[in-house]
Structure 1
Amino acid sequence: MTRKEKASAHLTAALERDAADILRYLERRLGTDDAADALSEVMMAAWRRAEAVPANAEQARMWLFGVARNVVANSERGERRRSNLAERLRGTLAAAQTGGRPADAGIEVRDAIARLSPDQAELVRLIHWEGFTVAAAGAILGIPASTARTRYQRARADLKEALSTGHGSRQN
């Protein structure tokens, strides 16, 4: 049996013997929902370093728990990063919101856009809300620039008519 095959057999035995205990360890630290995924990470990390597993069963167990501890630490760091990012995004969004703007500001325009064909409405949104050029919006929609220009001109005319005749305004 080669050295690699011995290491593989030794790791298999260690995982079969200790996986349930490692899973319980992970459940206590990460919760039931994340423990199974973490166990798979422990196993993948162990397989990548199979030749480093100590030969003694107790030392192999301790080594596997060390790997599990690193997986828990990585998970906690990732969760902190996600939490920090979410907090920064909340702050950015709060700063970007306009102060005294009423909730229904622009509702007539949004209603008029919603009554356009789906393709025209998406074209208008890409151009005016997302800041794309007509040609770029056409590329996103998978249509030639000339077709996008024609559809955009038609959409503008439809919007102008809807807004000038009162079809786009709210009824109280």
Structure 2
Amino acid sequence: MSRAEDAQRLQQLHDQIGADLLGYFARRVEPREDAADLLSETLMVTWRRLDRVPADDEGARMWMFATARRVLANWSRGQRRRNALSYDLREHLATVALPVANDQALDVRQAVSALPRNQRELIMLVHWDGFTIPAAAQLLKTTVSTARGRYQRAKITLKAALSNTAAPTSKTSTAKVKTS
């Protein structure tokens, strides 16, 4: 069959069986919106193996439902794996002592979040995730010289923001010392 004939055959199968398959999935998955993704996956498998789909309508219907059943089984296994990993991570995080945020840490987080997106991500990769500037540049798909320039601008901006945050506290304590 030509590519156009294949496309026409797939469209015909979708028109004849698609609504039934969507219902099949919708009755079996939660959230129901995942049913559309599963139908799409079933149609992708059908497209790749169109030469194996029986020519008669009932045979094609049976073949597509068998394919849908396998797609659903794969999806279910994936869901169970993701849920198990999430559970394990939640259990681990429950036992790990997380750092307590103090005023200074909150000031730093605020100052970093105020940076332009490209500078913020670079600073976070370097200081919070432990990457070097060249490695962060590679992750961000930019040149090392561009990353170094962004890093310098971010440092200047952060220094100014954090010195402004700390300044009122030191002025207040100085004023108290002068009045007493």
Short-chain TM bin: 0.5 to 0.7
The 1-side partners of 2:92 and 2:134 are apart by 27
Cα deviation per residue 1:119-141 (whole Å; 9 max; x = unaligned)? 4x9587666544456x5699579
Q: Determine what percentage of the aligned residue pairs are the same residue.
A: 33
Cα gap change, 1:150 to 1:89, in 2 (>3 Å):
closer
Q: CA deviation at 1:8?
A: 5.7
Aligned residue pair count: 160
Scaled by the length of structure 1, the TM-score of the pair is 0.65
**Structure 2 unmatched ranges of 5 or more:** 141-145, 173-180
Amino acid at match of 1:51: D
**1:18 alignment counterpart:** 17
Contact 2:107 2:162 in 1 (8 A): no
The reply on whether 1:77 has 2:77 as its aligned counterpart is yes
**2:61 alignment counterpart:** 61
The reply on whether 1:144 has 2:149 as its aligned counterpart is yes
Contact 2:107 2:165 in 1 (8 A): no
The alignment yields a C-alpha RMSD, in angstroms, of 4.3
Contact 1:113 1:159 in 2 (8 A): no
Scaled by the length of structure 2, the TM-score of the pair is 0.63
Contact 1:124 1:152 in 2 (8 A): no
Contact 1:10 1:55 in 2 (8 A): no
Contact 2:134 2:147 in 1 (8 A): no
**Structure 1 unmatched ranges of 5 or more:** 168-172
The 2-side partners of 1:160 and 1:12 are apart by 63
